[in-house]
Amino acid sequence: MNTIFWAGDSTVQTNDYRTYPQNGIGQIFPIFVKDEYRVENHAKNGRSTKSFMDEGRLAVIEERIGEGDFLFIQFGHNDEKSEDPTRYTTPFGTFKENLKTYINVARTHGAYPVLITPLERRCYVDEWKLGPGAHGDYVAGMKQVAAECDVPLVDLYTMSREALEEAGEVGSRKWHMFFDAGVYPEHPEESRDNTHLRYEGAVKYGSLIAKGLKELGGIYAELIWDEI
């Protein structure tokens, strides 16, 4: 049985009762995957391409990954945190270099790397329109790596922006760990989590990744149930 290994951040990680009702995309992704494949989710809250490697998390994947497996690589949210040198990477410099390290880990072991652009946040400027967000240069950097290394890419960033604008500000709240401002009236903005996902959001955005894999065709489409 081949395995999908996942390297990523809190939008992907597997949660437990301590962070309930938060869910990550990697946590629910097995519902889209055929029975002959399994998902091993190594994503962790707050990690960037840099800190994930520095903590030895990529090394653990390297010990376990093998021929015919897949490595899904989904970062960006924490790479852009310039105030934190333990996580920050430059979008067209160290971010790209790190992504190529992940790709090489997969290919060295006969596995297939897949780049997945970061999930957009709920960065609404009005009810139906998103602002530019903070991911743009990291999306561009990842797309450059995909072209330079001939690696398939699933553009979750673009698909999630389209889904968020279609649902609208109110309609998309059910996907995220969004709390009504009335819960913490003294700090209304701090009570709103526009990044992390509930089960409904993990399923929604997971379905977009599944759709992207189907569109890639070949061995990537074969991972996903035909009904998707």
- Copy the structure tokens of residue 127: 């009810």
- Residue 182: pLDDT above 70? no
Question: From the CA atom positions of the chain, what is the Rg in Å?
Answer: 17
Q: What pLDDT, on a 0 to 100 scale, did the predictor assign at position 191? A: 57
Q: What pLDDT, on a 0 to 100 scale, did the predictor assign at position 192? A: 76
- Residue 66: pLDDT above 70? yes
Q: What pLDDT, on a 0 to 100 scale, did the predictor assign at position 107? A: 98
Domain extent at residue 165: 2-221
- Identify whether 228 is part of a domain: no
Greater confidence (58 vs 187) lies with 58
Chain segment 79-132, per-residue pLDDT in tens:
999 999 999 999 999 999 999 999 999 999 999 999 999 999 999 999 999 999
CATH number for position 156: 3.40.50.1110
Q: Is 172 a catalytic residue?
A: no
Strands 70-74 and 37-41, sheet pairing:
unpaired
Considering the candidates 10, 160, 172, 207, report the single residue annotated as catalytic.
Answer: 10
Q: Is 196 a catalytic residue?
A: yes
- Identify whether 227 is part of a domain: no
Q: What pLDDT, on a 0 to 100 scale, did the predictor assign at position 183? A: 46
- Identify whether 141 is part of a domain: yes
- Identify whether 226 is part of a domain: no
Give kind and range of the element (H or E) at residue 200.
Answer: helix 199-216
Average pLDDT over residues 64-87: 96
Considering the candidates 63, 186, 189, 227, report the single residue annotated as catalytic.
Answer: 189
- Identify whether 149 is part of a domain: yes
Q: Is 189 a catalytic residue?
A: yes
Question: Distance between CA 7 and CA 223 in Å, rounded?
Answer: 18
**How many domains in the chain?**
1
Average pLDDT over residues 145-167: 97
Average pLDDT over residues 164-184: 81
- Residue 184: pLDDT above 50? no
Considering the candidates 162, 196, 207, 215, report the single residue annotated as catalytic.
Answer: 196
Q: What pLDDT, on a 0 to 100 scale, did the predictor assign at position 60? A: 98
